[in-house]
Amino acid sequence: MQLPKWMRASGCRLAWLMTSFIIIVSANAVAAVPDALVVEIPQDAGIKQRPFISSPLNLNEYGYVEQEFMMSGTGHYYEQDGRWRSDGKWAVKIEAERDYATRLLVRRPLDPEKFNGIVVVEWFNNTGFMDVDVIWAQSHTELLREGYAWVGVTAQWLGMNMLKSWDEERYGDLRLPNDGLSYDIFSQAGRAVRVQNERILGGLPIKGIIGAGESQSAIRLTTYVNAFQDAAAEVYDAILLYSRFFAASPLKAGITLASPSRAFIRDDNKVKILQFETEQDVFMFLFRLVRQDDNEYLRTWELPGASHYDEYGVTTLLPQYQRDFPALSNIALDCRNSLNQIPQHYVVNAALSGLSRWVINGEPPPHSPRIEYKFWQVVRDEHGNAMGGIRLPELEVPTATHNYANYGALGREGNFLVNSFACPFLGNTVPFDQDKLQRLYPSHEDYVMKYIEAADAAVEAGFLLSADYDEAVAKAQAAGVP
């Protein structure tokens, strides 16, 4: 095996070949999974001399450092043990054992005094055929201001394949033959954060670890929670399932959905779980088929008016990927309609904050109302906005209609393939005309007063954080309404 230049130069040959044999129980006690070996990748390793999707922010200004690590070990392929039913009580058995080597991307406070004790371990989304740090993109403001540590995990083949293509010299010796190893990799990543804290986090005192994933990653985490309950409960204190669909992922390769056709969270689950679902997730992606009551370990939040992803997320992520792929700078995201502007990132921030309190103090997040649904349709108000669910001020004091209808721009400038793939997930916001705004809000002061009342209610309900409240109210005060 030829080692990357950075490993040969840094004298890590012996460490690369060694394995650690601290044993934990994984996957319904079917296997003992050895801890992974973690070795830091020098910042200037490889041709690009920086990690793929390194933060475009100047993290030093926030008192943060970004580091990258190679994690290697042994994982298993699994197969179903018996029939899987919708109740999520799924058993698995080992099919084969394989070695792997993947990467962890870490962003953490330098000063232990600024660390809030919570580590968010994100399963990178691979829907775009590469690692995408969606949770960080949506909630970096909250993570940085509150002093979280964040660890991104390359758990799947598509993400690793792009790493190797992007910088063969830096990532050439990574190996992950199949997504079937992803579940053990995610367990071993969380375990490494605890056991190898000094190396990975500089010894920050951990109070809890939250696993997190969005969309495709949340679908795989659904399988992780249901089929690998013992490992999940051993490693993670809580899990954020952000925009999962009605089904779960297969045990092996692919981003497709697996049998059974519906996947509830098992009712004997012992991991604190918060499911955050947008209106599009609930209805277009059929999460409504697996709605279940909250219980001691489960909360489900539903946000009306919100699309699967939105303008804020695109604005945050696109510059990062245009930097890493200069060819993307010429790609126009030219959707037929304007992108959705419901600030779902405020609610994701509140979800992380709520999970943190749940882990540290035992205080569970609030219960969320469900989006109203009748006769196979979303119930909408006179403005076309969905009823029920979490009520942000943008819904209670509307200046636009928010929905998830959007399409690629046929016959217009832009990349048809990109638009056709991305636009349907990015929703739509249609501003009211001036006449309607004037009828709703006779004066700017009237609008701001109503907005503040709605924002106060959202804070009181636990779905809007105080820091985001200040930003939201300032935007309302600056808005040209009516």
Whether a cis peptide bond, with omega within 30° of 0, leads into 319 is no
Instruction: Give residue for tokens 């037929």.
Output: 336
User: What would the two tokens of residue 303 be?
Assistant: 């946000």
Q: What is the pLDDT of residue 77?
A: 94
* Residue 147 zone, left/alpha/beta (φ > 0; ψ -120 to 50; rest): left
Most distant pair of Cα atoms in the chain: their distance:
73
Residue 431: which residues within 8 A CB-CB, separation 6 or more? 399, 400
Strands (E), 272-427: 272-278, 298-303, 373-374, 377-378, 400-403
Q: How far apart are CA 369 and CA 348, in angstroms?
A: 16
Closest CA to 365 of 294, 303, 308: 294
Asked if 436 and 447 count as a contact pair (C-beta separation under 8 A), the reply is: no
Strands 118-123 and 149-153: parallel
Does an H or E element contain 142, and which?
helix 134-146
pLDDT, tens digit, for every residue of 144-200?
999 999 999 999 999 999 999 999 999 999 999 889 999 999 999 999 999 999 999
User: What would the two tokens of residue 215 be?
Assistant: 């969309």
Q: Which domains does the chain have, with CATH numbers?
A: 20-270 (3.40.50), 374-478 (no CATH)
pLDDT, tens digit, for every residue of 127-147?
989 999 999 999 999 999 999
**Angle 216-227/182-195 helices, nearest 10 degrees?**
80
Residue 412's φ and ψ, nearest 5 degrees, are -120, 175
> Can you name the residues that pair with 430 across neighbouring β-strands?
401
pLDDT, tens digit, for every residue of 423-464?
889 999 999 999 999 999 999 999 999 999 999 999 999 999
Strands 149-153 and 238-242: unpaired
Q: pLDDT averaged over the chain? A: 90
Q: Answer yes or no: pTM beyond 0.85.
A: yes
pLDDT < 70 regions, the chain:
1-34, 254-257, 328-332, 408-420
Strands 31-34 and 64-80: unpaired
Q: What is the pLDDT of residue 4?
A: 63
Q: How far apart are CA 283 and CA 340, in angstroms?
A: 16
Q: What is the pLDDT of residue 455?
A: 98
Q: What is the pLDDT of residue 16?
A: 38
Q: How far apart are CA 7 and CA 167, in angstroms?
A: 15
